Amino acid sequence: MSAIRRAVISVEIYTDIKKSIFNGAWAPGERIDRKSIADKYGTSQTPVNDALNRLTGEGIIESRSGDGFFVPDYDDASLADLFTARAGLESIAARLCAEEAGEAEKRELEGIFARFGDSVGLDEGEAYLAADKRFHAAVLRISGSQRLNEVEASFGHIFRSYEHGLVRSPAETLPEHRVIVDAILSGSGKDAQIAMADHLLATRLTLFHT
């Protein structure tokens, strides 16, 4: 195999594995089977190892000496650190949404939680989790910041922080989401930034006290 062909396959494998992890296709703590990946792409394990080493260097997966590569299974402290990073990224994104997004984009954010009314029913937990993910991803997208979105695309802070589901109950977070949306709709960048930071840092604090 030529060096160019090896590099092309390695990038393809790297991209597909990262996407699978961020989409939750692989469970936390799951071992990554290098042979099955090599068989899938019809290649040797060399470009697979190249891709896995790159992902390890980015902190997307873990390498355990003598035991291979694994999807991280975050403890509470590691999850809390993800929420620290999210608070920094998403609070700025929320401010940009408030100050620069168009009316239709702002209404998109408002509509994400519209179905839940004043509370979330016992049978709506999965729907709320999906809405939560969609809302935070949309805030970054609608912010219009290429750099903020590149950081999220590279490290997947949002989707990785949901690997064990919701940290706090919808009863706590639904009102907080609505405060963020109201600030964005009103065009108050400062209020949107503070509301988003408070929302995510409250989850961080919860993780430190569980």
DSSP collapsed to 3 states, the chain: CCHHHHHHHHHHHHHHHHHHHHCCCCCCCCEECHHHHHHHHCCCHHHHHHHHHHHHHCCCCEEECCCEEECCCCCHHHHHHHHHHHHHHHHHHHHHHHHHCCHHHHHHHHHHCHHHCCCCCHHHHHHHHHHHHHHHHHHHHHHCCHHHHHHHHHHCHHHHCCCCCCCCCHHHHHHHHHHHHHHHHHCCHHHHHHHHHHHHHHHHHHHHCC
**What's this model's pTM, rounded to 2 decimal places?**
0.80
pLDDT of residue 66: 81
Amino acid in the structure at residue 184: I
Share of the chain above pLDDT 90, in %: 69
pLDDT by residue (tens digit) across 46-61?
999 999 999 998 888 9
Do 192 and 184 form a contact (C-beta atoms < 8 A)? Answer: yes
**In the predicted model, what is the mean pLDDT of residues 7-17?**
91
Least confident among 109-118, 174-183, 197-206:
109-118
Share of the chain above pLDDT 70, in %: 99
Residue 210: pLDDT over 70: no
Please give the C-alpha separations between residue 162 and each of 43, 142, 174, 206, in angstroms, as whole numbers: 33, 21, 16, 14
Report the residue count for the chain: 210
pLDDT by residue (tens digit) across 144-194?
999 999 999 888 888 888 888 899 999 999 999 999 999 999 999 999 999
pLDDT band at 101 (very low <50, low <70, confident <90, very high): very high
pLDDT of residue 159: 82
pLDDT of residue 1: 63
Tell me the C-alpha distance between 113 and 136, whole Å. 12
Instruction: Return mean pLDDT, the chain.
Output: 92
Tell me the C-alpha distance between 43 and 13, whole Å. 11
CATH architecture of 3-70: Orthogonal Bundle (1.10)
Residues 6+ apart with CB under 8 A from 98: 183, 184, 186, 187, 188, 189, 191, 192, 193
Domain residue ranges in the chain? 3-70, 76-208
Paired with 68 in beta bridges are 64
CA-wise closest residue to 192 among 204, 180, 203: 180
Residue range 76-208 forms a domain whose CATH class is mainly alpha
